[in-house]
Structure 1
Amino acid sequence: MRFSLTGGVVCLGETMAVLVPAEPGPVRAATTWTRAVGGAESNVAMYLARLGVRSRWVSAVGDDAFGGAVLDFVAGAGVDVSDVRVDPDRPTGLYVKEADASGSAVRYYRRGSAASALGPGDWERVRLDDVALVHVSGITAALSDSCLELLDAVLASPVPVSFDLNWRPALWRDRDPSVLLKLAARADVVLAGSDEATAVWGTGDPLELRRLLPDPTTLVVKHGASGASVVEDGVVTHQPGLRVDVVEPVGAGDAFAAGYLAAHLAGEPARRRLRAGHLQAAAALLTREDVGEPLPAEVTAPLLDADDARWAGAHLRRHP
């Protein structure tokens, strides 16, 4: 499943080094760790690159080993990292997670990170020629006042913007989450999980969310395993999700966003856009990594245009 677009996508936000126990059991007992890389917006950029979409990641990392590892990892996935600033004074953010099919307990160590010091000045130096879309998330708004100002500058630019709510309650303990509705209202495409939208905006119903957000051209609401919906021009299109033997769920939302946005920019109809999102999400659900290996074309191509019965009967499993 690949999409050919005339313009690229810029994804902006923090990416951190990730430590995951390399052995089963509680984190406090772990003696061996695996280092990975995780960040919502760079995840989207990497999935887009795998779909054949030119993508660029904009952020900041520390001048440290973790920062170098992050840059190598994201660039290694085919993403342009030339607009990532290396901060000589602030560290690269870090988080620790204990992976499990039912969810992952996560501990963040990102206060004072290089990316938390991003601001409008970083946006001013970003090249916008031949950019079809800028992708951001609500995570960035929570990191600092300067990061919130950065999002304001992005949304004031002439390039279309997609905004993923990406609700992280731990980041908002000392900040006002009401800004998230104001940011989303200025975007062209808004993506949100129905559960997180309920937590932040009081409802996860697509039509009620549309009443709260009348201005974005497209509203995408994810309903977990039951599927996702698109609201456009007063019409709600719902597409059930795929049956997947979940290994670990972190990163599936970012994968869905990339699949959906690639199809959106390619001008695909709503149902095909949603299916493209579900197929990318399935790749993430089948791995413990935030960015899973893409599903083979012999799986994705038939399912994109399958009838409803075949789609409903599909069952994706991880191969040993």
Structure 2
Amino acid sequence: MTLFVPAEPGPAEEVVTWTRTVGGAESNVASHLAVLGLRTAWVSAVGDDAFGRALVSAVASFGVDVSGVQVDPLRPTGLYIKESDASGSPVRYYRRGSAASGMGPALLGTLPLDGVRVVHTSGITPALSDSCLEMMRALAAAPRTFTLSFDLNWRPRLWADRDPAVLRDLAAVADIVFVGSDEAELMWGLGEPGAIREFLPETPTLVVKQGERGATVFEGTSPPVFQPALRVDVVEPVGAGDAFAAGFIFGTLSGWTPRRRLRCGHLRAASSLLTHHDVGPSLPAEFVSRMLDASEAEWAAATVTGDHP
């Protein structure tokens, strides 16, 4: 979606100048993965309007293939407003009746999935419309030769007139699932990683994001692995979860250990936390390489600031 963030400090109601940028869970993940050097494509729908054209161009600028994005001649491009704040940014969505809400199962037949290794989805899409929900169910049920990644991305306002129980069903059949402990607490009354694992025992790889504390990964019957988050001088937190997912997926495709995958996620999230935008500049490559294999003491002592480490 098109994203507007304040271009000046102060309460949102007093801000006069806003900066237009890009946002959206799946496009964020695709953009981060492209920046990390992987071939990625983003499939969605935008309106036949200036915002849609700017959005597609912006996502493409990160190196993402946008040839599968459809242009809806009738519905507008979705947008949202982010009232940026380091402690947690209120987000206002304007996506009802958007071009993306018009997507449906027929879209799946247009996807060139040969050779695709991961398809990443989120719990936002099934909340947009009945047709989007049908599309997500069809994708989850279809035979696949790729890894299906699913980020819960709980958005209460989107589910005000829908049954969110479907999110549990979609998570149960995915190969990699990302769940925030805060989301799980709100949805299912389960905040502890172990309890979330008991609730989702079918998922081959379950990643529980625990905010500034860190993240835990469960895989099969192996013991869970917890990795603390880096200390970061946070500018604004929205979008960090998508960055984390991209880093973890990158590590998964690289064949890394659970701990290294979690660290890759934290490092990518840190780059997002340092900016008002959902996809910010990468951390220095030398620092990332060093921290991926750092000792626990060195990891714990690191702090990431606007001037980097």
Q: Which bracket does the TM-score occupy, shorter chain normalised?
A: over 0.9
In the alignment, what sits opposite 2:114? 129
Q: Deviation string for 1:85-122 (max 9, x for gaps)?
A: 00000000011121010111111111100000111011
* Inter-partner Cα distance in structure 1 for 2:79 and 2:128: 14
* Inter-partner Cα distance in structure 1 for 2:67 and 2:32: 18
Q: Work out the number of aligned pairs and report it.
A: 305
In the alignment, what sits opposite 2:256? 268
Q: Does 2:206 match 1:219?
A: yes
Q: Does 2:183 match 1:196?
A: yes
In the alignment, what sits opposite 1:168? 155
Q: Does 2:208 match 1:241?
A: no
Is the 2:5–2:276 Cα contact (8 Å) retained in structure 1?
no
- Segments of structure 1 that go 5 or more residues without pairing to the other structure are 1-15
Q: Deviation string for 1:199-238 (max 9, x for gaps)?
A: 1122122222222112111000011111000011231000
Tell me the TM-score normalized by structure 1: 0.93
1:176 to partner: Cα distance: 0.7
User: What are the residue-to-residue correspondences of 1:297-316 with 2, within 5 Å?
Assistant: 297-316=285-304
Q: Does 2:51 match 1:66?
A: yes
Q: Deviation string for 1:126-147 (max 9, x for gaps)?
A: 0001100110000111111111
1:198 to partner: Cα distance: 1.2
Q: Which residue of 67, 75, 92 maps to 2:77?
A: 92
User: What are the residue-to-residue correspondences of 1:1-320 with 2, within 5 Å?
Assistant: 16-157=1-142, 158=144, 159-234=146-221, 235-319=223-307
Percent identical pairs in the alignment equals 61
Amino acid in structure 1 at the alignment position of 2:37: G
Amino acid in structure 2 at the alignment position of 1:138: G
Amino acid in structure 2 at the alignment position of 1:210: R
* Inter-partner Cα distance in structure 2 for 1:108 and 1:232: 34
* Inter-partner Cα distance in structure 2 for 1:36 and 1:140: 20
Amino acid in structure 2 at the alignment position of 1:283: S
Moved over 4 A (4+): none
Deviates more, 1:25-34 or 1:90-99: 25-34
* Inter-partner Cα distance in structure 2 for 1:310 and 1:23: 36
* Inter-partner Cα distance in structure 1 for 2:16 and 2:192: 45
Match of 1:56, SS state, is coil
Is the 1:99–1:248 Cα contact (8 Å) retained in structure 2?
yes
Is the 2:4–2:82 Cα contact (8 Å) retained in structure 1?
yes
* Inter-partner Cα distance in structure 2 for 1:194 and 1:19: 27
Amino acid in structure 2 at the alignment position of 1:106: V
Tell me the TM-score normalized by structure 2: 0.97
Is the 1:204–1:221 Cα contact (8 Å) retained in structure 2?
no
* Inter-partner Cα distance in structure 2 for 1:71 and 1:237: 37
Amino acid in structure 1 at the alignment position of 2:289: A
Cα RMSD for the two superposed structures:
1.1
1:80 to partner: Cα distance: 0.5
* Inter-partner Cα distance in structure 2 for 1:316 and 1:19: 26
* Inter-partner Cα distance in structure 2 for 1:93 and 1:216: 31
Match of 1:163, SS state, is strand
* Inter-partner Cα distance in structure 2 for 1:117 and 1:91: 10
* Inter-partner Cα distance in structure 1 for 2:299 and 2:262: 12
